[in-house]
Amino acid sequence: MPGKNTANQRDIVIIGGGHNGLVTAFYLAKAGYKPLVLERRPQVGGAAITDEFHPGFRCSTLAHTAGPIRPDIVRDLKLEKHGLRLITPEVSVTALTPDGRALSLYQDARKSAQEVAAFSQKDAAKYPEFQESLGKMGRVIGEALATPPPNIDHPSSGDLWGMLKTGRAIRNLGKKDMYRLLRWGPMAVADLAAEYFETELLRAVVAARGLFGTFLGPWSAGSALVLLIRAAGDAHPAGSACFAAGGMGALTQAMASAAQATGAEIRSGAEVIEIRVKDGAASGVILSTGEEIDAGAVISNADPKRTLLKLTDPTHLTPDFVQKLQHYRGNGTVAKVNLALSGLPNFTALKNGDAAALTGRIHIGNEIDYLERAFDASKYGNFSPHPYLEATIPSLTDPTLAPEGQHVMSIYVQYAPYKLKGDWETQRKPLGQTVVKTLAQYIPNLPELILTHQIITPQDLEDTYGLTGGQIFHGDLALDQFFTMRPLLDWARYRTPIENLYLCGSGTHPGAGLTGGSGANAAREILKDLKK
């Protein structure tokens, strides 16, 4: 280790400048503290960053849509004043079939129903009803997501009041929707979609919302709960599309600006290699340069395993806790391919060249069985030759991302297992070829438009971006890793067994994407301790 520098004192150190770390920093600074955010990489943002990956071509390197970010967080941080401009296209998602049909779903439920009617009049009638039910249940779930989980063994008066409010909200749903909420959560999302819709393409695009980023297939129990949790932020059955002008890095740059304006300090290129623990309490951090920083509290935006089993010496934890955390599941299933294109792709299904249909998300996975077969491959350590894909062409709504007349295409690939048979480095090129070959069934001229690929594997997500197991949500989204069990039962309130050491990342409740919820909730709980 390089020579040790003289320690300096801070009241709070936050490890990691991802979006939740920045949100936490803002709220702590607003309360009068002076948090120091230490980011390992050259830029803050975590999984919400924008990079130039080919001369003149910029893209949201990892996450390409907002969660959507919680509206109260956008208001509190005044993100628009710090340069954020969100783009919400009228078309949320366009789902494609290999035989040249397209289904576009809109922000407007009535417009969506008109599109669905071309496939099924029955489904068109059901679509607004399904959206209304999702909206009602989403509002109830949203209240639970916006508060820390209760302490089950020793609930405080605040916990009891929160549980009472949630119970009352569930009861106010009415008998039909209350029954649906209790029944839907444990269901397979394929069964839920089939209860409402007969069109396979519609079933698949709705089901996919309960699968993204998970190690779940459409027939997996609890996949419907993921859909319900996402409906808490957006009631549209297949989800919306929400982009940041300038790529998703613009979102986290605005958050960083807001945190700094409120009094937080941010240092990039500052890698924490150890959390110091003295007498059972976190006392500071050590950087890769040897610099030591003393701190009254240490908050980690890294995932729970990286924080407690790598950055912290596990001897400070009980063997039982270590064993449970080692079994906290977090194997990634998502890869990313970014393409620089010399022109706009020509989709077979859009015979009139309707570019508006491509302004939202583009879904490849035309039936439930297609999604299940893609999942099957990952269970045995392979990526499917026919993957489930979600693509965007953000340069259609934000021309600053590419040279005039040219475009960028951002593609999520699922299922690409972190635990691959063989080596991801040797499979990088085959993965990219599989993605292009799959897309070429829908876009025959795509191969000739490609100027360059950027291929990001689950191994890259771990090595380059610090996501243990390549898991983009810091831990699997599953029935036994939600709410009071995220990351572990008895440790779901942002605290850890080590005094003054806290978690604020997506491995904590609610932890389902770029919403900022984990950071805001964590700040609220940490402030309770700091004020004591």
Give the pLDDT of the chain (532 residues) as one tens digit per residue. 334 444 599 999 999 999 999 999 999 999 999 999 999 999 999 999 999 999 999 999 999 998 789 999 999 999 999 999 999 999 999 999 999 999 999 999 999 999 999 999 999 999 999 999 999 888 888 888 888 887 766 777 666 666 666 667 677 777 777 778 889 889 999 999 999 999 999 999 999 999 999 999 999 999 999 999 999 989 999 999 999 999 999 999 999 999 999 999 999 999 999 999 999 999 999 999 999 999 999 999 999 999 999 999 999 999 999 999 999 999 899 999 999 999 999 999 997 768 999 999 999 999 999 999 999 999 999 999 999 999 999 999 999 999 999 999 999 999 999 999 989 999 999 999 999 999 999 999 999 999 999 999 999 999 999 999 999 999 999 989 998 999 999 899 999 999 999 999 999 999 888 999 999 999 999 999 999 8
Residue 128 inside a domain? The answer is no
Residue 114 inside a domain? The answer is no
Q: Which domain holds residue 261?
A: 8-51+60-84+248-328+468-531
- CATH number, domain of 274, equals 3.50.50.60
The DSSP string of 342-387 is SS----TT-TT--GGGGSSEEEE--SHHHHHHHHHHHHTT---SS-
Residue 458 inside a domain? The answer is no
Residue 232 inside a domain? The answer is no
Residue 374 inside a domain? The answer is no
What's the confidence (pLDDT) of residue 165?
A: 67
- For residues 94 and 437, the answer to whether their CB atoms sit within 8 Å is no
Q: At what angle do helices 189-196 and 223-231 cross, to 10 degrees?
A: 70
- For residues 363 and 390, the answer to whether their CB atoms sit within 8 Å is yes
The DSSP string of 289-345 is TS-EEEEEEEEE-S-HHIIIIIIS-GGGS-HHHHHHHHTS-----EEEEEEEESS--
Task: Give the dihedral of Cα atoms 15, 21, 26, 30; nearest 10 deg.
Answer: -60
Nearest to 405 by CA among 57, 52, 49: 57
- Classified as helix, coil or strand, 286 is strand
Sequence-separated (6 or more) residues with CB below 8 Å from residue 119? 101, 103, 199, 201, 202
Q: Write out the two tokens for 121.
A: 């009049």
Tell me the helices (H) and strands (E) count for the chain, helix number first.
17, 18
Bridge-partner residues for 364, per DSSP? 96, 389
What's the confidence (pLDDT) of residue 2?
A: 39
What is the identity of the amino acid at 73? I
- Classified as helix, coil or strand, 423 is coil
Our count of domains for the chain comes to 1
What's the confidence (pLDDT) of residue 52?
A: 98
Residue 472 inside a domain? The answer is yes
Q: How many residues in total does the chain contain? A: 532
State CA 391 to chain mean position distance. 15
Question: Cα separation of 158 and 244, whole Å?
Answer: 36
Residue 476 inside a domain? The answer is yes
Question: Cα separation of 210 and 216, whole Å?
Answer: 8
What's the confidence (pLDDT) of residue 3?
A: 41
Nearest to 462 by CA among 454, 472, 451: 472
- Classified as helix, coil or strand, 513 is coil
Sign (positive or negative) of CA dihedral 26, 32, 33, 35: positive
Residue 135 inside a domain? The answer is no
